[in-house]
Chain A
Amino acid sequence: MASRFGLFQRVYNGTILTPTMTLRHVATRPVINTTSSRPLTTCMTSRTWLTLQHSKKTPFQQPPFQKVHYNTTTTKKKTSDKTDNVSAGMYAAAIFISMLGLSYAAVPLYRLFCASTGYSGTPVTDTNRFAKERLVPHNEQRRIRITFESNTSDALPWSFKPELREIYVVPGETALTFYKAKSKAKDDIVGIATYNVTPYRAGSYFNKIQCFCFEEQRLASGEDVDMPVFFFIDPDFLEDPYMKDVNTVTLSYTLFNAKYAKHLSPVQPPSA
């Protein structure tokens, strides 16, 4: 008895069908052995069935080369499949790692991009804007009116007014203006100022060389002082098409009481 078991069920007289076998395979019962004394109940796999089918077509010729061909193609396909899979896996792993690295590198790269172009409202801290070649007044252009506003917080008993209500400048021309602050308090108070520029789109062209904002300013009781702002309008203002209709730029300062900004320390006055 043949003791060969394949992946499939034992075949008894070809009646039990396996999934890979078709009716055609079963119907034609090939003669395996010329000696008919051998019983037909043998264990076979479907592959044996197929090869037997093939051999039935050309009974006197075992198709060795075809068989060999079949075998070599299977083995070759097997190994090339394996290397293909390995190389595909390598490619996938490489792409995965490169994407991961790119996502880590994107954080500082984006920050650099935003800082240099000022995209999406990032403050531009590039000092090339203040290069002395750019501080040349373009006298042939129209003069832009800069108006000054002031506000104080209710918690700050100071009177804070602009010395000059308006000034006419040309892009590239440095200008000076003053704000007057008088303390009406009984003791020393530290104030801190923030500013705003309207229209907002012109805000990026309003460059301040020196001012009095964002740093604490201490005023003794009853003292009055002049606070200067030294600024200019960036020459790129003339090239921006959105600025064509901008004839008035308003600078507005708001003074707050620094008592409520506890984490800041007072500015030490410079020793002359």
Chain B
Amino acid sequence: MSYGRPPNIEAFSGSPPLFGSFPLDHEGECKDFMKEYVKCLKQHKNNNGECRHLSRAYLQCRMDKGLMDKNDMNNLGFADLKDNNNKKQNENDNKDQKESS
């Protein structure tokens, strides 16, 4: 550590990734999802906002195949996606029904 150095706004401070490292997909199990995602991005001029559902699908594939620790999609920043909201709405409706009955 370089303590005592004058503070520099241009200093690069790295940070470790939250969940560590992705295990390598040696068998290419989620390669199709990856290809879909890349194709979507090429169509939308590399705008990430349009293709987020495909990146969620890729991560879901990874979780299913055991290449990633299972995690709620809301924690990974996909809480705002429309399909997720519908799912949540249905869950809440079911909860209300259960409570009322």
Contacts and interface: CB of A to CB of B under 8 A. Distances in A.
Interface in B1-47: 1-3, 5, 7-26, 28, 31, 34, 37-38, 41, 45-47
A143 B46 CA distance: 11
A204 B13 contact: yes
- The prevalent SS among residues of B at the interface is loop
Contacts, number: 164
Nearest to B9: A201
A132 B48 contact: no
Interface in A148-194: 163-170, 172-176, 178
A226 B76 contact: no
Contacts of A87: none
Contacts of A176: 37, 55, 58-59
Given A200-B11, A201-B10, A213-B21, A135 B79 contact: yes
A34 interface: no
Contacts of B34: 163, 178, 226, 228
B99 interface: no
A270 B62 CA distance: 12
Contacts of A214: 16, 21
A267 B22 CA distance: 11
A254 interface: no
B23 A270 contact: yes
B65 to A, nearest CB: 7
Contact of B14 (A123, A166, A272): A123
Interface residues of B, number: 50
B66 A225 contact: no
A200 B7 CA distance: 13
Contacts of A227: 22, 24
Contact of B65 (A213, A217, A272): A272
A196 B14 CA distance: 8
A211 to B, nearest CB: 5
B13 A122 contact: yes
Given A164-B41, A210-B22, A269-B24, A118 B13 contact: yes
Contacts of A242: 9
A173 B46 contact: no
B58 to A, nearest CB: 6
A76 to B, nearest CB: 53
B12 A125 contact: no
29 contacts: A120-B11, A121-B5, A121-B12, A122-B1, A123-B15, A125-B16, A130-B18, A143-B49, A163-B38, A167-B48, A168-B48, A169-B49, A174-B76, A196-B12, A199-B10, A201-B9, A201-B11, A204-B15, A210-B18, A213-B21, A214-B21, A225-B28, A226-B25, A226-B31, A228-B22, A230-B76, A269-B24, A270-B67, A271-B66
Interface of A: 118-125, 127, 129-130, 132, 135-137, 139, 143, 163-170, 172-176, 178, 195-197, 199-201, 203-204, 207-215, 217-220, 223, 225-228, 230, 232, 242, 267, 269-272
- Sorted from nearest, which 8 A-B pairs have the closest CB atoms? A135-B77, A174-B77, A272-B66, A176-B55, A215-B21, A208-B17, A200-B12, A203-B12
